[in-house]
Structure 1
Amino acid sequence: MPPRWARFIHPDAPDVHSKYVPTNDKVFKSPFGPFATTAEDLNVHEFCFPRDQPLPPDYDLFVNAVTDERVTLHQFYNRVCSVARVLRYDGLNPLSLARSPKDDTESGEILGLFSRNHIHYPMLAHACFRAELVFGGISPGSTPFELWHVLRKMQITSLVCHETLLPVVGEAIKLGKGPADQLQLVLDINKIVVLSDDASLDDVQGHRTVEALVRQGAHLPEPQRKLVGGDKLCYLFQSSGTSGLPKAMMISHRNAIHSGLQGMTVTTMTAKFAGVEPLTPQTVLGIVPAYHSYGMILWILRVNLQPATNVMMPKWDIELALRSIQKYKITALPLVPPIVRQLAQSPLTEKYDLSSVVSCGSGAAYLPPDVAYQLAEKLPNKTPIPSGYGLSEAASIASPPMAGLFGLRASEPGTIGFLLPGMEGRVVDPDTLEDVPKGTKGELWARGNVVCMGYFHDQKATAEIFAEPGWLRTGDLVLRDAEDRIHYLDRLKEMIKVKGLQVAATEVEDTLLDHPEKLVVDACVAGVDNERGDGSLFPRAWVVLSVEGKTQGEPTVVRKLNEHVSQRLSKHKHLAGGIEVVEAVSILVNA
C-alpha cells in the first residue's frame, strides 16, 4: 500500500476480507482494529500538513455557495502560516496574546471563534493549531446571555467574531463580569478581531480584521520550531453535558487527530475491500456547522488528508443547497436528520439535477428509518441514508460499514452500525453501573483516543461522564446485538419520567410521524411539568403540519394525533402535556 494511504492503517489491522468474530466479552472492540500509529506529541496542523511532504497539486478547497468566492489548498496553507505568525505568543504578537493553557489547571490565552460557516473559518482553526493557541468554538445562534455564559465558561480572553455578530458581542459584554462565585468574564475588548466579508478592510468598528492579520503575517519571517500537540489542550467545544446551560468541553490534539483519522481509516479500508482507488477527490456540501464536532471533523480535521472541494453555506437554505448540488456537481452530502427529512419531503428536489451525488450520510442526532429510505429514493444509488454516531465528548464512535467488509451484514437504518477504528464499547445498566448481557438495552460507554479530556473548570460534570477512568458515559440507551452491531434506542437524559415510568421521546415522535394520513412532517416530544409538585412530567409534542394536515385544520389534526397515540402506546406515553402546532422544529444548522 502506498505511504500516502498506509499512514491511515495500523500494521496489525485486520485484513478487509477477513471475517469479524463477535464476542460475548463485556468489552467489545471495533472490527477495523486499532488506530494507526501517530507520534505522541503530534500537532493537528502537522498531522494534516506533514513537514516532510510537499503540498499536492492545487485545487479549490473552499467555495462560498452564495458568492462563489474560492480559496485553493495552497492559498489556504499560506494564509494559515501568515495568521499563525501573528497569533504566536512568542513572536511579534501585535495582539499581545498570552501563552495558552495545557489543561484546566492553568490559565492563559483562549481565542473564541464566533461565526457561521465561512470559507475562512477552517483557516483560523488551523492557524490556531500552528500557533499553539487554544480556541473555543461558539454557536453563532447564541443570544447575548448565552454568549456571555459561554465566554465565561470557556474563559475566552480574545475573540474572532463575524462582523454581523458584533452587536451580540456588545450586548454580552454589557452583562458585566458575572457573579463573584462563578467564572468571570475575562474577554479583552482590545483582542477582538473581525471576520469581514470585505477583504479590503483592515478595520471594522475599531477592531482589526482577519485580512489585516493575513497581510501583516505575510511579511513576517517563519521561525523554525517544533510544533507541540499530543495530550495538550487543543480547543474547547460547547456541550450541554447532562443538564443546564452549555459546558466547555476540552479536546486535546490527540483527541482531534484521532477524530480526523477515523474517517480516513474507514474510507481507505473500504476502498481496498471494494477494489477501487481510495481517497479520490470529492465535492462536499458544507452545511454542518464548523463550531460543532461533526463540522470540525468535516471542514477542519481532514484538510489535505483527502482531496475535497467544500461548498460552504453560511446557513441552511433548501433551494440554495439544491442549486449548489446541481451547479457544483456535489458528490457527498453530510447532513443532519431535520435536513434529511426536509429534503426527503420537499417537492423542490424535482427541480434540480441530483445525479452527481455519490454518497449521503447523517449524524448529530437520531435518523428515523422512514426518512432514511425516503431521501434515498431521490438519489442516484437508492441506498438508505446511513447514520453515524458520536457526540461532542467523543466526536465519532460508530457507523454502518459497507456490507461484506469483514464479513459483516448491512446495517439497516435505525442501527448505528459498528464501533469505528480504535474504539471499545460496553453496554451498562445506567442505575447499577453493571454491564448487561448482549441483547439487553443499556447505556453505551465508550473508550478510545477520541474521548475528550473532560469539562473545562468543571470537575463535578467531568466526574459524571467518567464513572470509571477512561470510560465515557454517552448518556444514550442502546442495544448490542449478537453480531456486536449497535442499535440506538434513545437519549437517557431525554427519557421522560411519568409516575416513575420512562417514556422514550423518539418512540412517541415516530408514532406521530407514522399516522396513516401523514398529518405531520416533523415532530418533537419532551417532558413538561405536570404542576403537581411530584417531579413527574407530562409528555408534550410540537408538530409541523403536512399539506394534508393544513387542509384538515389544527383542531382536527390534534384530535386525530391524540387518538392515534392512544391506540398505539401505553397510557403513560399519551400526550397529557398537549400538542402544539409550530412552523418548524429547530434545525441544528440554524443555531
Structure 2
Amino acid sequence: MPHHLLQRHWSRFIGPNPPSPHEKYQPHANPIFASPFGPFPPSPDNLNIHELCFPPRSPLPEDYPLFINAITQQSVSLHQFYTRTCALARVLRHDGPNPLSLGPSPTDDKHDGEILGLFSRNQIHYPMVVHACWRAGVVFGGISPASTPHELWWVLRKMQVTSIMVHESLLGVLGKAIGLGTGAGDDMPLKLVLDVTKVVVLSEDGSMERVGGHRTVESLVREGMRLPERAWAMRGGDDLAYLFQSSGTSGLPKAMMITHRNGYHSGIQTLTTAVQGARFMGVEPFATPGITLGVIPMYHSYGMILWHLRVNLVRNTTILLPKWDLEQALQAIQKFKITALPLVPPLIRQLAQSPLTEKYDLSSVIGAVSGAAYLPPDVAYQLAQKLPQGKDMPIPSGYGLSEAASIASPATPGIFGLETAMPGSIGYLLPGMEGRVVDPDTLQDVKKGEKGELWARGAVVTPGYFKDAKATSDIFTEPGWLRTGDLVMRDEFDRIHYLDRLKEMIKVKGLQVAATEVEDTLLEHPENLVRDACVAGVDNGRGDGSLFVRAWVVLTDNGRSFRKEDVASKLDAWVKNRLSKHKWLTGGIEMVDSIPRTPSGKMLRREMRDQYHALLKREGQAKL
C-alpha cells in the first residue's frame, strides 16, 4: 500500500486526520502562532519531488493536454511529458551512457558537484527538463532569461554552475558571460567553473541535433528513447533539489537552496487550502479540470510552484504565453476558456484598466490570484468587477519570499470561522506554517497589534544560501526561524497585515532589485564619477504596487568636472549596459552633497525616499 501522500485522491493533501473546516479557529496571544489549516500531511522521509508528482508503480491517469503554446499551438500531453521526461533522465544520469559527461550532484552546500544551470525564457519543454533533473538526481539552478552577461556571470559563479541548458536566443549572452573569465582577479571566493563542453541548447526547432556546435535538448530526448530504463533509487527529502537566483533579504544576487522537502511542500500547500475550501462549501475538490494562463516566469519561485511542482497532482492544462501581451492574453482566455489567472500586480492593473477587456469573453474565469509583490486594494477590486466573481470577491494576494515560497494568504470566507481578510491584509498563515512578530532591534516578540518583523517557520523555508554561511546566518538569527525582512502587524484574529519593507529591496513588476547591487554598479563607473550612492524604490505614480528605481549620488572631483546632465546620461547608460531592464534608473538620478547615515554608518535610504515623496506631494499641491 503506497504512502498516504502518494495515493491518487484529493484526501492526500490534507492527511489522514485533517481538521474540520467547520471547526472554529481560536486566536490567542501566544508569541508563536500557527496556521488555522493545521500541519502539513505526513510524507515519506526520502521523497523526491518527481516521485510525488508521478508515484512509482502507479498508472498515469487518462491523457490530456498538459502545456499548449497559445501562439504556435504546439502542445505536450501528460503522457508525452512523462515519456519524454523519463527519456531525458536516462541521458542525464551520471551512471549511464552519460553523453554530457555529467558528474554526481551535491546533496548540500558542503560538497561540490554537478549543477546544471537552466537559462531560458518560458518554453513548453522547460518543465520536462526540470523533472528529468529531479528524476536523474541532477541539481539545477534557475536563472533569469533577462540577465545581462555580467549578471549571468555573477550568478553562474554563485551557483557554481558546471553545465548549462540555454535557450538558443540566449547563446550570445552566455558567450559574453563566459568571455568575462573565471574571476581570478577579484575578491569573490567562488570562481566560474562552467565546463563549456557541457552546454545544451533548448531550440524551438525540434529537428535540430546541434545549435552553435552544442547538443540540443531534443537530440538528448531522442537518444534517451533508445536507452533501456534501469532501476534507480531517487534521492529526496532533505537533499538539495535546486537553486534559486535570489537577491535574498538584502545585498547582491545569491544562490538559494531548496531541498526536495521544501519543494514538494510548497507545491501542495495551496492544494491543501483548496481541498479544505471545497469541503467547507460542500463540493467535490478538483471536480472540474483547470485551464491556467501561463505567464509567470518558470525560473521564479512563483512559477516553480505553478509549472513544475504540481505536474500531475491535479488535472490542469497550462496555456503558455512566451511573453506578456495584453491582447494575446485576452484572446487566449476567450479561445481556450481559461479558468485561472495567476498574475502579478502590474499585469492585474493592466487587465483592470484596459478597455480591451470589453472586447473579449472572460466568463470562463473562475478566479485570479496575485503574487510576488504587494497588490493595492483598488486594483484588487477593479479586476474583480470585470470577472464573474464580481466586486464582492476582490482578487486575493498571496505572501511569500524566494526563501519561503508561500507563507500566508487570504482564506475562503468563513472557513474555520475566520474573519474575512480584505485587500491590504496578507491573510492567515498557510498550512504547515508558524509565525512570530519580532522587534527587529531587540529581537523580542511584540504584542498583538504592535508592528514588528515577521519571522516564519515551516517545511517550505530554505536551509540557506549556497556556499554563503554569512548570508545564511543573517536570515536565521534563531535556528529554523526565517527573518522575512518585512514589517507586519498581527491583529486580534491572527490575520497578518503588511506594513512596510525592512529589507532594502525594491519590487519592480514583481521582480526583486537589490539597492546595493545598483549602488555598487554606479560606484564602479569606469570614469570614477561617483563617490557615494544611495538607491531606493520610489512611487511610480501608477498605483500598481510597483516602484521606480531612483538614485542619489555624491560626485567625485572628476564627476563634478562634467555638466550634471552629462553625468546623469553617462551613469544611466552604464546601468543599462550592466543590469537587467527592471533594475534601470526609471526614477531618475539626483546629485546631492551627502548621503544621510546613522552613527554606525548605515545608509538611511528610507529618509531619502521619504524626502523625495514629500517633494512630489508639495509640487503636486502647488500646481492645484
Q: When the two structures are superposed, what TM-score results if normalisation uses the length of structure 2?
A: 0.83
Residue 509 of structure 1 deviates from its aligned partner by 3.6
CA distance in 1, matches of 2:618, 2:69: 45
Q: Distance in 2 between matches of 1:474 and 1:40?
A: 27
Once the two structures are TM-superposed, the CA of residue 263 in structure 1 deviates from its matched residue by 1.6
User: Match for residue 344 of structure 2?
Assistant: 336
Relative distance call for 1:477 and 1:522 in structure 2 (3 A) is closer
User: Aligned residue for 2:141?
Assistant: 136
1:224 pairs, out of 231, 242, 245, with 231
Counterpart in the other structure of 2:177: 172
| Cα distance, 1:319–1:531 mapped onto 2, change above 3 Å | farther
Alignment map for 1:527-538 (pairs within 5 Å) = 528-529=552-553, 530-535=592-597, 536-537=604-605
- Which residue number in structure 2 is paired with residue 299 of structure 1? 307
Matched, 1:74 2:79: yes
- Contact 1:509-1:525 within 8 A present in 2 as well: no
One-letter code aligned to 1:64 = N
1:524 to 530, 544, 548: 548
Matched, 1:258 2:268: no
1:560 Cα deviation after fit: 7.5
2:512 maps to what in 1? none
Q: Which amino acid aligns with 2:257?
A: M
Secondary structure, aligned partner of 2:223: helix
Distance in 2 (CA, whole Å) between partners of 1:44 and 1:400 is 26
Kept in 2: contact 1:526–1:539 (CA 8 A): no
Q: Return the match for 1:243 from 250, 260, 268.
A: 250
Deviation at 1:533, TM superposition (A): 4.1
Q: Aligned to 2:431, which of 416, 421, 429? A: 421
1:103 is matched with: 108
Q: Cα deviations across residues 30-72 of structure 1 (Å, max 9, x unaligned)?
A: 0000001110100000011101321000000001111010000
Task: Give aligned pairs, total.
Answer: 539
Work out the CA distance in 1 between the residues paired with 2:249 and 2:304.
22
1:151-184 per-position Cα deviation (integer Å, ceiling 9, x unaligned): 0000000000000000000000000001354211
Code of the residue aligned with 1:532 in structure 2: it is S
C-alpha spacing 1:526/1:18, structure 2 compared with 1 (3 Å)? farther
* Structure 2: tracts of 5 or more residues without a match: 507-514, 516-535, 554-591, 598-603
Secondary structure of the corresponding residue to residue 116 of structure 2: strand
* CA 495–47 in structure 1, closer or farther in 2 if over 3 Å, else same: closer
Output aligned runs, 1:384-463, within 5 Å.
384-463=394-473
Equivalent in 152, 157, 168 of residue 152 of structure 1: 157
Does residue 215 (structure 1) correspond to residue 222 (structure 2)? The answer is yes
Deviations 1:97-119 (A, max 9, x none): 00000111100000000011110
Tell me how far apart the structure 1 counterparts of residues 119 and 173 of structure 2 sit (CA, whole Å). Answer: 10
SS at match of 2:9: helix
Cα shift readout 1:461-490 (whole Å, capped 9, x = no counterpart) = 000000100000011111101000111112
- Tell me the residue number matched to 1:8: 13
Aligned 8 A contact 1:160 1:194 in 2: yes
Mean CA deviation greater in 480-489 or 180-189: 180-189
| Partner-residue secondary structure (3-state), 1:153 | helix
Q: Give the SS at the match of 2:386.
A: coil
Query: Is 1:234 equivalent to 2:203 in the alignment?
Result: no
> Does the alignment pair 1:198 with 2:211?
no
Aligned position for 1:583: none
The one of 39, 44, 50 aligned to 2:44: 39
Task: Tell me how far 1:380 sits from its aligned partner.
Answer: 1.2
Partner Cα separation in structure 2 for residue 283 and residue 93 of structure 1: 37
Q: Aligned letter for 2:396?
A: P
Q: Offset of 1:346 from its aligned partner?
A: 1.3
Equivalent of 1:289, from 279, 290, 297? Answer: 297
Q: Is the 8 A contact 2:165 2:199 kept in 1?
A: yes
Distance, in Å, in 2 between the alignment partners of 1:176 and 1:4 is: 52
Q: Tell me the equivalent position of 2:578.
A: none
Partner Cα distance (2:324, 2:297) in 1: 10
In structure 2, how many angstroms separate the alpha carbons of the residues matched to 1:483 and 1:223? 54
The sequence identity of aligned pairs, in percent, is: 63
Contact 2:52-2:264 at 8 Å conserved across structures: yes
The aligned counterpart of 1:466 is 476
Q: Say if 2:373 and 2:545, in contact at 8 Å, map to a contact too.
A: no
Match of 1:487 among 476, 494, 497: 497
Instruction: Please give the per-residue CA displacement for 1:74-110, whole angstroms capped at 9, x wherever unaligned.
Output: 0000010000000001111110000000111100000
SS in 2 for 1:26: coil
* Structure 1 residue 522, shift from structure 2 partner: 6.7
Q: Structure 1, unaligned stretches of length 5 or more? A: 498-504, 515-519, 544-557, 568-591
SS in structure 2 at match of 1:301: coil
Offset of 1:17 from its aligned partner? 0.6
Larger CA deviation: 103-112 vs 222-231: 222-231
Residue 375 in structure 1 maps to residue 383 in structure 2:
yes
In 2, the alpha carbon distance for the partners of 1:371 and 1:110 equals: 41
Give the 3-state SS of the residue equivalent to 2:172 in structure 1. Answer: helix
Change beyond 3 A, Cα 1:374–1:565: farther
Q: Secondary structure at the match of 1:348?
A: helix
**Aligned residues of 2:249 and 2:504 also touching (Cα < 8 A):** no
Instruction: Name the residue aligned to 1:549.
Output: none
CA contact (8 A) 2:249 2:505 kept: no
